[in-house]
Every structure is written in C-alpha cells, then in structure tokens.
Amino acid sequence: MRLAEIIELRPVPAAGLLATLTRRCPLSCAHCSTSSGPRGEDTPADALRRFVGGFTPGDRPQVLMLTGGEPLLRPRLVDGIAGLAATAGTRTAVLSGMFFAADGRIPARIMRALRHIDHFSASIDVFHEREVPRAAVFRAVHHIMEKGIDASFHVVGLSPDDPYLADVTAAIRAEFRDRAAVLVNHVRPAGRAAHWAAARPPGGAGQRPAPCAMAAWPTVAFDGTVTACCNQRVVDARPAPPHLRLGHIAVDDWADIRRRCQESPVLRTLRTAGAGSCADCRSLARRPRALAAARAAGSSPAAGAMDVLGARLQRDAGAETLLRRYGTGRYAPLVLLGGRDGEEAPA
C-alpha cells in the first residue's frame, strides 16, 4: 500500500481510522506535537482489541493508521490489532520514530510486529537525527522494504524554506532511488513546540472558510475517546468539544463511530464548507448561533449528497493536491514516489 493511496482517502468520511497506542516515547524531540516522553498514558489495549475486532468485511475502515507517541513500544499490540484488521480486509499503516534502529538493525520483536503491516512510515527530522542517525534509519528501512512492506518517510523542517528539507529529501531520493515516498511538513506550534514554533497566519479574519478534510477520519485518543479530528488540541481536550466527540472504544463499536462520523450534520458542514480556522471550529460549542447554523446547514436534504461529492472531488484531485493544502507545498509531489520501480517519480 503506497503512501499516496492513504493520503487520497484522507478526505473520505470514515475511510480510515487513526489510532494512538501510547503517549510514551523513548525520544525527547523538541518539536513533538504530542509532548510524548518516557512516561505517559497507554491507550487501553483490551478496549482497542475489542473495537478493531468488531470490524467486518462489510463494515470496516479501509485504512487503520497506528501512531503515538511511539506505537512500536507496544509491538504485541501492533501485531494483534493489525492481524484483526487484516481479517476484516482493513490495511494497516504504522508511523514510527525509529527508536529501535540506532545501529541500523531491527530487533526480532519489532519485525514480528510488522508482519501484518501494509505500509511503514519512518519519521526523520533534525530532532530525530540527534538521537537516531540518518544512516541507521536508512539501513533499517531497507530491511523493512526487503520484507515486501511499502515504506515512506515523514519529514519535518523548521519552516517551509528550511535548507534541511532540501538536504534530507535529496538524500532519501538518492538512497532509495525513488522507491520511498516522502511526506514533508514543517513544525507547527503544538505540543513541545507550542511556545517556540511559528504559527500559520490566522485562518479566521479576512479568510474564506474552506472544506476541512481533517474532520473525516475518526481518531482514537490515548484514553480511548474517539474524536472526529486529529488536531492535537482536540485529541487532548477533556471534555472534547461535543460536536467533535464521536464516542469511546470501550462502549461503542465501529458501526456506531462510522455512522456518527458520516451522518453528523455539523461534521458534514465542516467537511463541505469549513468553519474558518481550527480555533473557530473548536469554539463552536461556545457559540450557540454558529453551532445551530452549522447543524441546520448539515441537516438539509442535499447535505449528505454534497458531503459525498466533496469527498469524491478531493479524492480524485489526488494526494499531491491535498498536501499542497495541509503539508509543505513545494515538496507535495514527493508523496507520489513509491512502488518497486519508482514510478511516477517527480522531477
């Protein structure tokens, strides 16, 4: 499963499920959006197994994305839920900070955890490289690809113009001969970077709202709460904003979560018209008139059809177009890399 396939599905309501497995991570990167560290909460394993075990061939997400913290600190859980997902026909991807690869080798427990994985993404940036050398990450990813698992890199720079991005993407392309896709972003003011990273220009005043593709995939938070958005402030907020809370894996099943995600009038409005900025969306519960307007718009007879059409148009536009909105635009074509022969390689 290539990275572009995953990204193309991102605007499609309930086409994927994002699941955080733990907030723990042995690395201590200064830009970590989840503020992960050696200690932190683990997502309830039994509840997550029960939830994923409820997928069926006729009702399942197409993609299960496992992240953290560092998801491979729980290798048996990764193996178990990826196996359950595969039984129902769901493909699984995992994103890792590569803590285990300092010498370029992969421990047996990690390779066992990847046996049901369809896509592996390695995080690499100036902060990770201080703890896990680039050459070691490259060697480990080669080993993973030799097992027949498609692989990609998630790269982060300090800004869109950071020279590091040009250096590391060129190194990845040369090392893997365009067989590994690259998703490039820059640090946002979230988590440990909240007090030092530069924010994007405000999305509210003077800017037209735009459809939000990030309100499409349910996200399992560290305590088992399921939100409709992967924004870290939403994932961490307790209580979660009511219009963005879909349920909890201990009491709800996938069919419940999917139905709420697809049929919520407010989420339909967010996906088709937007709310302005992320802050505007999070604050809807404190603005009753705006919330009522969003609910009314999403309840109209045409709202469901518009939601489906909007998702289809964004999917058809492709992964590169989506990343020009949500990633670091100049590097968006690199998401099209991948495949055994490096087909569709951008210039």
For residue 342, the model assigns a pLDDT of: 47
Task: Name the nearest CA neighbour of 93 among 158, 10, 37, 34.
Answer: 10
**Is residue 127 over pLDDT 80?**
yes
Cβ atoms of 297 and 270 within 8 Å: the answer is no
**Is residue 205 over pLDDT 60?**
no
Average pLDDT of the segment spanning 139-151: 96
Indicate the Cα dihedral angle 78, 82, 84, 86, nearest 10°: -170
* pLDDT band of 210, cuts 50, 70, 90: confident
Identify the bridge partners of residue 247 per DSSP, sorted by sequence position.
226
Q: Rounded to an integer, what distance in angstroms lies between the CA atom of residue 195 and that of residue 191?
A: 9
Least confident of 131-140, 211-220, 333-342: 333-342
Q: Classify the C-alpha dihedral 261-263-264-268 as positive or negative.
A: positive
For residue 198, the model assigns a pLDDT of: 62
For residue 195, the model assigns a pLDDT of: 67
List, for residues 173-196, the tens digit of each pLDDT value: 999 999 999 999 988 777 776 766
pTM listed for this prediction: 0.92
**Is residue 141 over pLDDT 90?**
yes
For residue 201, the model assigns a pLDDT of: 46
For residue 188, the model assigns a pLDDT of: 75
Provide the CATH topology of domain 3-263+318-336: TIM Barrel (3.20.20)
- Domain ranges across the chain: 3-263+318-336
For residue 208, the model assigns a pLDDT of: 61
For residue 211, the model assigns a pLDDT of: 87
Whole-number average pLDDT of the chain = 91
**Is residue 334 over pLDDT 90?**
yes
Cβ atoms of 27 and 68 within 8 Å: the answer is no
**Is residue 345 over pLDDT 80?**
no
List, for residues 84-117, the tens digit of each pLDDT value: 999 999 999 999 999 999 888 899 999 999 999 9
* pLDDT band of 203, cuts 50, 70, 90: very low
Q: How far are the Cα atoms of 134, 144, 336 from residue 316, in angstroms, in the given order?
A: 35, 30, 14
Q: Rounded to an integer, what distance in angstroms lies between the CA atom of residue 177 and that of residue 327?
A: 23
* pLDDT band of 288, cuts 50, 70, 90: very high
Q: Rounded to an integer, what distance in angstroms lies between the CA atom of residue 31 and that of residue 18?
A: 21
Q: Rounded to an integer, what distance in angstroms lies between the CA atom of residue 200 and that of residue 213?
A: 18
**Is residue 202 over pLDDT 50?**
no
**What percentage of the chain carries pLDDT values higher than 90?**
76
List, for residues 6-48, the tens digit of each pLDDT value: 999 999 999 999 999 999 989 877 777 777 778 889 999 999 9
Average pLDDT of the segment spanning 198-214: 61
